[in-house]
Structure 1
Amino acid sequence: MSTYVIAFESSQAAMAASKTLASGSVDFRTISAPAAISAGCDIAVEFDAPDPEEVLARIFGAKRDTGLASLYRVADDGACERICAL
């Protein structure tokens, strides 16, 4: 299982994602975006999953080129590796 962070370009997008996840069965945390990956706002979503696809599908559906966020994998040492733009 890996830890992932989605950093958003706007607070509105971050809050909408949090609301969408809260209405489902996804275990997630709304956090302050780590400084190393901070995007347009200071709010991020963190979750643990073997594969982030379920969470991404719930938030973004099939449309992944929104320009609203980026997905990162958090390493054991806390470093964040950018996986893709969303």
Structure 2
Amino acid sequence: MNVFGIGLPEMAVIGAVALLVFGPKRLPELGRTLGKTLKGFQAASKEFEREINKAMAEPELKGDEPEVLPAEASSAPSQVPPNEEG
């Protein structure tokens, strides 16, 4: 098991140090708080991904109007009469 480059022995050492620092009564509370925080980040990440996908799909859905490219615009006949010099 390898999470973020940290193996099982390293996780055990981190857990033991956390147990010594925070104590057995406070450690479950910190674990719950960390879990809720990670769940919130995960939900925000999914929402962000959904919004990005929605924004990228919108131009494809608005395909009713043909897109005019600059090369096509210059080859179209001009509606403006030419200037008369004289």
What's the TM-score, normalizing by structure 2? 0.27
Where relative contact order (Cα < 8 A, 6+ residues apart) is larger, the structure is 1
What's the TM-score, normalizing by structure 1? 0.27
| Structure richer in strand, relative to its length | 1
